[in-house]
Amino acid sequence: MRPTARRNHKKRPNLTPDIPVIEIRDLHKSYGSLEVLKGLDISAPAGHVVSLIGSSGSGKSTLLRCANLLEDSQQGDILFCGEPVIWKGTSLNRRPADRAQITRIRTNLSMVFQQFNLWAHMTILQNVMEAPVTVLGRDKTEVEASARKYLDKVGIGDKCDAYPAMLSGGQQQRAAIARALCMEPKALLFDEPTSALDPELEQEVVKVIKYLAAEGRTMIIVTHDMRLAADVSDHVVFLHQGKIEEDGPPETLFGAPKTERLQGFLSATVPA
């Protein structure tokens, strides 16, 4: 049975509604002679959730890493709150031209990875506080209060003094989400946030993501969980071999897929 999209009543942030937080135009990405992204256009308006779905190797995670400027793209535009990334060079030699701009953009785009990437020698509270204090230079007392607030928000406020090895995988991923939130970003990027978890722990993280979506957070989510995509998304993008095969609201993609490729993908990934 295919997932049914549920429309959430979301809070919408007071940002300029006609300027997307993240906008990607005609994006191309290659690794040598291998072209991975073949001219993609994606927009994430303020307060909206965009989910990227597709088979392994379709370009989902690469697109997310390009959006966060962790990977250099060879063609196309990336805009953050209407501000285009400035480039120098062309093709495989294209690089960001303004390092200060890249730092500013990255500090406003928090990314949550498949693996939790927590520092093993720091407590959970220290992990969450580290970037706001060292990267943003915020007051330590103020950051600690925010960190505790976000750890409470994701349901592990009692784990502040624990070390990552003392937590389950689901708890570690929720700590990683709290760490991302503590940067006070304008958007959150999730790269398969539940893929490393067993089903029971996966639901802990899914619950947090649904809560953030209901809060009106701007998010781009790469996910294998079709029910999550249906529940939280305003827009779903189905990638196939580096191209957008089909996209639209979740009720359309999951309820009435138009292309044979999407129909086949859903048949293979969604339990009957």
Angstrom distances, CA of residue 203 to CA of 5, 102, 199, 207, 245: 18, 34, 6, 6, 29
Please state, in angstroms and rounded to a whole number, the distance separating the CA atoms of residues 272 and 265: 13
Q: What is the pLDDT along the chain (272 residues), one digit of tens a residue?
A: 567 665 555 655 554 557 899 999 999 999 999 999 999 999 999 999 999 999 999 999 999 999 999 999 999 999 999 999 999 999 999 999 999 999 999 999 999 998 889 999 999 999 999 999 999 999 999 999 999 999 999 999 999 999 999 999 999 999 999 999 999 999 999 999 988 888 888 999 999 999 999 999 999 999 999 999 999 999 999 999 999 999 999 999 999 999 999 999 999 987 65
Which run of H or of E encompasses 219? strand 219-222
Both tokens of residue 97? 């031209």
CATH of domain 1-7+19-108+218-272: 3.40.50.300
Angstrom distances, CA of residue 39 to CA of 73, 93, 206: 11, 18, 31
- At 227 the three-state DSSP class reads helix
Both tokens of residue 5? 């999209």
What is the Cβ-side half-sphere exposure of residue 30, based on CA atoms within 13 angstroms? 13
Beta carbons within 8 Å of 141's beta carbon, 6+ residues apart? none
How many CB atoms neighbour CB 204 within 10 A?
A: 19
Judge contact between 151 and 175, C-beta under 8 A.
yes
Judge contact between 36 and 56, C-beta under 8 A.
no
Judge contact between 179 and 135, C-beta under 8 A.
no
What residue ranges do the domains of the chain occupy? 1-7+19-108+218-272
Please state, in angstroms and rounded to a whole number, the distance separating the CA atoms of residues 222 and 54: 9
Angstrom distances, CA of residue 102 to CA of 67, 84, 99, 259: 11, 11, 5, 37
